Structure 1
Amino acid sequence: MQDIYFRRHFVQHLPQGLTPEGLIPLLAAPLIADGMVVEAFAQHVIAREATFPTGLAVEPIGVAIPHTDHKYVHRNAISVGILSEPVMFEDMGGEPEPVPVRVIFMLALGESNKQLNVLGWIMDLIQDADFMQQLLTMEDEEIYQSILARMAERGEL
């Protein structure tokens, strides 16, 4: 994970009452501010989400993994959003029912091979039901440290 930026301020508890289109710019803002992505990154993620949704109905907590094309990325990065109440994302697999999402992993990946490696790592992470449940009760600093430790355990992505 040496070349994937994950900083403390890339972790946020997100406000209630927003749609995915309202949440994505909040998750993109620190990536934009730190120069990880282009200014229009959020708009491109929203557009991609409309065509290729990223909601995953995993138990016990729904997850979304919004991202966009590598050409909008300057440096590989991940931002994480935690929701106190679920927000409905369309299902990645095309199921008609939307997915109630409480954890969002926004990916900014400039290399396609990185995307597969990082998606594999996230899939492993979200299948750890205990860890995912703990994320919902942690403060932002704890979330950051826990995910950072998981990245270190995995090594190169």
Structure 2
Amino acid sequence: MSFRPLPVALLLLCFGSPASAGSAATEIAQEWGLLGTWAVDCAKPAKRGQGNTISYEVTADGRLIYRRDFDSSDTNEVTDARIETGDTLVLSIVMPHYKQTRENGITKGADGSIRSLFNRGADGSYTIRDGRFIANDRPTPALRKCN
């Protein structure tokens, strides 16, 4: 039995690696201007579990992660990013703690702020729709870049 490196190399090129998928999401997020820390009020300290401070960071191996309130236990990988109509950035975020993947649609304000337009699960359930929280019908807050 002989080893055939060419077919193996072609197979790897066709399917890529998880790191390359993360790199594509990272590139799109970076081009869109998402990387960094965002908050309702950058002067206030983050409170665990509040979700008022979020950050989009790049790991040493090039993956994009989403972290809430600087909480190391609330760190989630962004596995896909795409830009849709109206310059809406759509992120697929794997949330192991909740055993789900969610899609989050984000828009930019004229002042440079961002806000969520939608947040939906793979099952079609929404926590945010049309820029409003499903639970209380309040609009999602504008987040400003802190760094």
Answer whether TM exceeds 0.5 for this pair.
no
Greater Cα radius of gyration, structure 1 or 2: 2
* Structure with more relative contact order (C-alpha pairs < 8 Å, separation 6 or more): 1
Provide the TM-score with structure 1 as the length reference. Answer: 0.30
